[in-house]
Amino acid sequence: MDVWFFREVCRVGIFLICAQALVQLRPEASYEKYLKLLVGAMVLIQLFLPLGNALAGEDAVWIEERLDALWESMEQSMEEAKEQARQTEERLEQMTMEAARRMEEQLQQEDGQEQGGIGFSGVENAVEPIEPVTVEAIE
């Protein structure tokens, strides 16, 4: 891409030298401003045409390849981030479960000490079902 840029600069430089020679060899002084206007327009065209061709022509393939590579890299990074998030979530869940188990064991030990060394492991809590309540419409 650097070679392309220098090639275009050299071409515009050569054109400017030839255009300046043409302006100096003009037949009358009154044509000078028209020739300079024409040369300026031609220089601008020579500068912008290669840029347009680069974006839509041969270099467009290179640009498209670079964008595709960037897109693939981004997708890969997103997949890696999702995997890391999943692993972190699993670790957090394991840590939470371990902390809950430790807390439960500690509470059972404290309850066992309060009951004189007897825990609640053999005791069943009987829960009686609640009868449904009916609501009558008020007229």
Per-residue pLDDT at 97: 92
Measure the CA–CA gap between 34 and 16, rounded to whole angstroms.
15
Domain range list for the chain = 1-56, 61-112
Per-residue pLDDT at 61: 72
pTM of the model: 0.36
Per-residue pLDDT at 1: 53
Q: What is the pLDDT of residues 47-62, one digit of tens each?
A: 787 777 666 666 667 7
Per-residue pLDDT at 133: 66
Q: Are 16 and 43 in contact (CB under 8 A)?
A: yes
Per-residue pLDDT at 39: 85
Mean pLDDT of residues grouped by 10 in the chain (139 residues)?
74 86 78 83 82 67 80 89 91 92 90 62 58 67
DSSP codes of every residue in 79-96: HHHHHHHHHHHHHHHHHH
Per-residue pLDDT at 94: 92
